[in-house]
């Protein structure tokens, strides 16, 4: 076995992969949030549909989708493997250990939060990605672009969908609160000079991005955005 493969199969190597794929997914969230926030122009979806058209027609973005799915699957697999290994390595007497004494509840619940996000992701892909890539969208807007905005309007008329999206964004916020800073620590970027700044940026990102995502279905459901 080579040193490289040995490192990747080790616990540290798996956490390293988790960190790399996690930061990649964070970058995707930032781009996705920016494109979706174009609905706040409140112009009947014209600006948003233009952005969505660019994302769908750009070959680099389409290739990025493949990389994204590969990274997402790898992130989930590594998370599952690490969770199982940690449970297997934990001694019976360790059950008396008070985890709350030196860690937050969401840092100990990353597996649960990740599972909830996976369930949400399946619903989200069924609502939008499958329709935009495979089944087709309902007509075009005034600029001649496929009207993904109309799909959003229809989807978010259903209150139960809005509630699921909001609950999922709460899960995302807590997942990011731990995962953002943890990824940098895993990659060795941990210094008393930089860590407080990274933690501040991570906390802001973990609150602002999920809040923007949650605001979209709520505002569309109550017709604040039309």
Residue linked to tokens 């933690």 = 199
23-37 pLDDT, tens digit per residue, is: 888 888 999 999 999
Helix (H) or strand (E) holding 167: helix 159-186
Residue 109's CB is within 10 A of a number of other CB atoms, namely: 16
Q: How far apart are CA 226 and CA 221, in angstroms?
A: 9
Q: How far lies 55's CA from each of 35, 43, 51, 62, in Å?
A: 9, 19, 6, 7
* Single pTM value for the model: 0.81
Tokens standing for residue 57: 């027609």
Residue 80's CB is within 10 A of a number of other CB atoms, namely: 13
Q: Give the domains, in start order, of the chain with CATH numbers.
A: 7-221 (1.20.1300)
Span of 3-12, 122-131, 151-160, 196-205 with lowest mean pLDDT: 3-12
């Amino acid at each position: 076995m080579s040193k490289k493969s040995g490192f990747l199969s080790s616990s540290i190597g798996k956490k390293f992969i988790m960190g790399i794929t996690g930061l990649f997914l964070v970058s995707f969230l930032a781009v996705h949030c920016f494109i979706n926030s174009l609905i706040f122009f409140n112009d009947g979806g014209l600006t948003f549909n233009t952005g969505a058209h660019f994302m769908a027609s750009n070959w680099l973005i389409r290739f990025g989708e493949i990389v994204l799915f590969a990274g997402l699957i790898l992130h989930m697999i590594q998370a599952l493997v690490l969770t199982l290994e940690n449970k297997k390595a934990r001694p019976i007497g360790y059950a008396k250990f008070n985890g709350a004494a030196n860690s937050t509840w969401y840092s100990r619940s990353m597996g649960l939060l990740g599972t909830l996000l996976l369930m949400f992701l399946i619903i989200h892909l069924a609502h939008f990605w499958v329709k935009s890539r495979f089944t087709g969208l309902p007509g075009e807007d005034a600029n001649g672009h496929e009207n993904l905005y109309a799909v959003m309007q229809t989807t978010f008329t259903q209150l139960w969908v809005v509630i699921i999206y909001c609950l999922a964004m709460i899960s995302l916020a807590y997942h990011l609160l731990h995962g953002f800073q943890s990824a940098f620590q895993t990659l060795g970027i941990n210094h008393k000079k930089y860590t407080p700044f990274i933690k501040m940026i991570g906390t802001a990102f973990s609150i602002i991005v999920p809040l923007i995502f949650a605001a979209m279905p709520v505002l569309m459901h109550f017709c604040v955005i039309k």
